[in-house]
Amino acid sequence: MDSESKEKVDRQIAAHEAAHAEDIARYRAMSVAERVRVLEAACRAAAIQMRDREAAGLPPVKPVPWPQSTWDFLKFHAERVRNGRPFERWPPEESPSS
């Protein structure tokens, strides 16, 4: 790739990163009620897409399995709540071995 093409790609990447940062900042500035409305709209849109896929005769989308780290995170916090422990940071800090 020549230097001009590389510069164009780098500018596109930077523009995407800036847009993503703006989206995250806008989302964090929302109230809980506003976040709920955004999540509900996303779920409605996904349901419409699934309905339209089925109507078009396409097979349902197969979700990608969750990575092990997600299962570990959920297991850690489920156990913490079941045992009545307060919030703990994830990932848990390793205790130094003596």
Instruction: Single out the residue of 98, 68, 78 nearest to residue 88, CA to CA.
Output: 78
Local confidence band at 94 (pLDDT 50, 70, 90 cut-offs): low
Tell me whether residue 73 is exposed, middle or buried, using C-beta atoms within 10 angstroms of its C-beta: 0 to 12, 13 to 18, 19 or more.
Answer: middle
Instruction: Single out the residue of 64, 86, 90 nearest to residue 75, CA to CA.
Output: 90
Structure tokens at 97: 């071995």
Task: Report which secondary-structure segment, H or E, holds 37.
Answer: helix 32-55
How do residues 5-56 score in pLDDT, each as one tens digit? 999 999 999 999 999 899 889 989 999 999 999 999 999 999 999 999 999 9
